[in-house]
Amino acid sequence: MVVSYLSEDEDAADTVSWIEQAGQLALSISGDLTVPEHCRDIVRQTVARFGRVDILVSNAAYQMTRDSLDEIPDEEWDHTLATNLSAFFHLSKAAVPHIPAGGSIITTSSIQGDAPSPKLMPYAMTKAGLASMTASLAQMLGESGIRVNAVAPGPIWTPLIPSTMPPEKVEAFGTDTPLGRPGQPAEVAPAYVLLASDDASYMSGAVIAVTGGKPIL
């Protein structure tokens, strides 16, 4: 298993430790996914170590809450697109030649792609784009036996929330869902496990909602 990360060395080392405790081989690779060449290098290192790519999970994301269009810096717009959308393109393009039939590509969309919040416009736009890319790639790669799906989380409690939202939004985060609370990362993980497994052998082009009851139509 390969763990790609930006600069969170301690978290990456902890993840690798858990993988190795489970009796599996692990490789961690640090770097910036907004750089296309780094995306390609991740695939090169993976193939050099393991010989192929069975499952690609693209999960990197950036968001920032802004009250108006004027408050969105040009650089932030470009960075959001590069992180959330372009990285998935570059990773997929590099990985597909090394994915055998039966392999799986999974990206992370969001309920924001279907029900965008105005204050998260750049983020929401990229998540809608990922859902569209999922549908396109599923049709493009079906003949090769490669499945492409997306998970669309709703309000999930991660470090991204307090670091990108004002305190009043953080306090109320997730309380507007039918289940009345935000989800935890462990509650999203089973959707990825399903899509990566043979149990999802006839699932491709799907966007799986993990939203606490908020609808994605």
Please write the tens of the pLDDT for every residue from 106-127: 999 999 999 999 999 999 999 9
Instruction: Write down the catalytic residue from 5, 62, 123, 202.
Output: 123
CB 208, CB 152: distance < 8 Å: yes
Segment 161-195, tens digit of pLDDT: 888 778 888 888 889 999 999 999 999 999 999 99
Residue 123 known to be catalytic:
yes
Q: What pLDDT is attached to residue 130?
A: 98
Residue 73, both tokens? 């810096």
Q: Give the largest CA-CA distance in the chain.
A: 51
Is residue 5 in a domain? no
pTM: predicted TM-score of the whole model, two decimal places: 0.93
Q: How much of the chain exceeds pLDDT 90, in percent?
A: 89
Sheet hosting strand 207-210, strand order edge to edge: 55-58, 104-108, 147-153, 207-210
CB 138, CB 205: distance < 8 Å: yes
The number of distinct structural domains making up the chain is 1
Q: What domain range is 176 assigned to?
A: 53-210
Is residue 180 in a domain? yes
Q: Nearest-CA neighbor of 82 among 115, 119, 123?
A: 123
Q: What is the CATH number of the domain that holds 160?
A: 3.40.50.720
